[in-house]
Every structure is written in structure tokens, then in C-alpha cells.
Amino acid sequence: MKMNVLKGIFATAIVAVIGFTTANAQEKVNIKESQIKWVGEKLTGSHDGTIDLKSGYFLMEGGELVGGEFIVDMTTINVTDLEGDSKSDLEGHLNSDDFFGVSNHKTAKFVINTAAKKGNTYGVSGTLTIKGKSNPIAFDLDMANGKANTTLKIDRTKYDIKYGSGSFFDNLGDKTIYDEFTLMVNLNY
């Protein structure tokens, strides 16, 4: 009986040590030093701007990326290619229910589910939530020296953003807005 108790204590101690040495570490993203740029295209041109990260971290194990979570502040949608009333009008439209419905959906979220290393690049797959709709997404993420960068395309129609989409509406002509928008993400951690 005494031997079984000692074996149990010894096994528990080994599990605790192993758990301690392989514990995941959170690398918080410096939101002030990070930037997300966006580009939305339409048949007759494009618009671009920025949006702010509210919070985020990479989950690291043994110096390798294994997960993470990022919250985007949708109230910070900024149009950078227009000025004056045109800028205000487009920002208002992007915030409206036609697009991101910011009054009801103040944040978007991305969770890294898996990451596979290939050099300084990781193949990342995760779940992106916009307007309360969640979909899987995969892309390459370059990570080195406290910086992480990627460019990815998002199909807005998967998040119930169908305004001006030629996939859902006929006879839009030159008012057609492409379904995909591009994000250029530069993170410092």
C-alpha cells in the first residue's frame, strides 16, 4: 500500500514537471505597433483603409507557434483613399448593416486552431468570425524577430455581406463589388 502511494506521488510529480516544461507561453501582440490594412475592389476601382486590432496574442510552445487569438475593433474602420464627405459616406456605409453591421457587431475575431512550420513561415488554419458568422480560413504567416506578416483574401459573402455582390444580384453593371477583400496584416509581438 505504501509503495502504491509513493508510486502515485512520483508519477504525479513527473507529470507536473513535464507539464511545466512544455507549458504554452502567450506572446502578446503590441497593438500600437501593429497594423491591418484593407483593400476592397469593385468593377470600376478600389478603396483602401485601415482597421485597428483591439487585442491579440500568439500561443507558443518551445518557441513554435501553436495557437492564438485576435480581436479586431470594427468601430475603427478607416477609409484612407478618400477625404471629406466621400470618406465619411463610405465609412458610414461600411459600418451599416449592408456591410459589417458595426452597431451590433463591434468586434471580429480570429482564432488559430493549427499551425505547421515551414522555415520562417507557418501554414495557419483557424476560425474567423465576422458579423457573428464563423468560417474556417487558412493562409501562410511569416514570423521572425518579433514580427508576423500575412496578406490574405476574405470572401465577405460567407459572413452575410452581400451588398453589391454579382454572386447574389443581377444587372449590377459597373456597381458590382467583388466578393473578396484583401487584408495586409503586420503584427509586432
Task: Identify the CATH number of the domain in which residue 88 sits.
Answer: 2.40.128.110
Q: What is the pLDDT of residue 32?
A: 97
Question: Does 41 reside within a domain?
Answer: yes
CA–CA separation, 88 and 49 (whole Å): 12
Q: Which three cell numbers stand for residue 19?
A: 507539464
Question: Does 10 reside within a domain?
Answer: no
pTM: 0.84
Strands (E), 80-132: 107-118, 121-130
Q: What is the pLDDT of residue 133?
A: 98
Residue ranges of the chain whose pLDDT lies below 50 = 2-3, 5-22
Q: What is the pLDDT of residue 173?
A: 82
Question: Does 172 reside within a domain?
Answer: yes
Question: Does 13 reside within a domain?
Answer: no
Question: Does 28 reside within a domain?
Answer: yes
Say if strands 133-144 and 147-155 run parallel, antiparallel, or are unpaired: antiparallel
Question: Does 129 reside within a domain?
Answer: yes
Element (H, E) at 87: helix 84-95
Backbone phi and psi for residue 86, each to the nearest 5 degrees, phi listed first: -60, -40
Q: What is the pLDDT of residue 23?
A: 66
Question: Does 140 reside within a domain?
Answer: yes
Q: What is the pLDDT of residue 33?
A: 97
* Number of domains the chain is built from: 1
Q: What is the pLDDT of residue 49?
A: 98
- Grid cell 475603427 — which residue? 76
Question: Does 7 reside within a domain?
Answer: no
Enumerate the β-bridge partners of residue 82. none
CA–CA separation, 110 and 37 (whole Å): 16
Q: What is the pLDDT of residue 96?
A: 98
Domain coverage including residue 33: 24-188
Strands (E), 62-120: 64-79, 107-118
Enumerate the β-bridge partners of residue 154. 181
